[in-house]
């Protein structure tokens, strides 16, 4: 009597196919996560630049009639001091940082122009310039 024994389980080829699909899905998920993280950091940078811009225009310039040569949490007190630090922990104008304030046409620390710039990862630089003058 020949009895055929039926084995249950997966064949090696089926296992390889499943592992390939799972690996591809994990790689795609990892890449998408990195992309979403970069987009989130870019949004944080834009938020910081917008806060500085409105603090300069509606606060500092409205009160003083000029723009500061440099900006810090001491002369722009109307905004959250944490926004002066980029998502990588570098303070504005710091080496390797992504947030910059460039003043122009200055005389004795009183400036007529400025440019705020955020270097973004997924888009072109985000730039705001002075509203007055």
Task: Tell me the pLDDT of the chain (133 aa) as tens digits.
Answer: 566 666 778 888 888 888 888 998 888 888 888 899 999 999 999 999 999 999 999 999 999 999 999 999 999 999 999 999 999 999 999 999 999 999 999 999 999 999 999 999 999 999 999 998 7
Owning domain of residue 46: 12-129
Nearest-angstrom CA–CA distance, 121 and 5? 60
Number of domains within the chain: 1
**Does residue 6 lie in a domain region?**
no
Residue 5's pLDDT is what? 65
Has this prediction a pTM greater than 0.85? no
Residue 127, beta-bridge partner list = 117
**Does residue 45 lie in a domain region?**
yes
DSSP alpha helices (H): ranges in the chain? 12-54, 62-64
**Does residue 3 lie in a domain region?**
no
Nearest-angstrom CA–CA distance, 100 and 119? 9
């Amino acid at each position: 009597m020949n009895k055929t024994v039926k084995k249950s389980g997966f064949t090696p080829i089926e296992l390889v196919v499943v592992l390939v699909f799972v690996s591809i899905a994990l790689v795609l998920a990892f890449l998408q996560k990195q992309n979403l993280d970069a987009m989130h950091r870019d949004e944080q940078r834009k938020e910081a630049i917008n806060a500085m811009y409105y603090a300069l225009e509606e606060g500092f310039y409205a009160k003083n009639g000029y723009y500061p040569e440099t900006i810090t949490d001491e002369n722009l007190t109307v905004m959250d001091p944490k926004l002066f630090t980029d998502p990588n922990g570098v303070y504005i104008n710091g080496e390797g940082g992504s947030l910059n304030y460039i003043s122009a046409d200055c005389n004795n620390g009183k400036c007529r122009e400025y440019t705020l710039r955020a270097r973004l990862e997924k888009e072109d630089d985000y730039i705001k310039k002075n509203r007055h003058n």
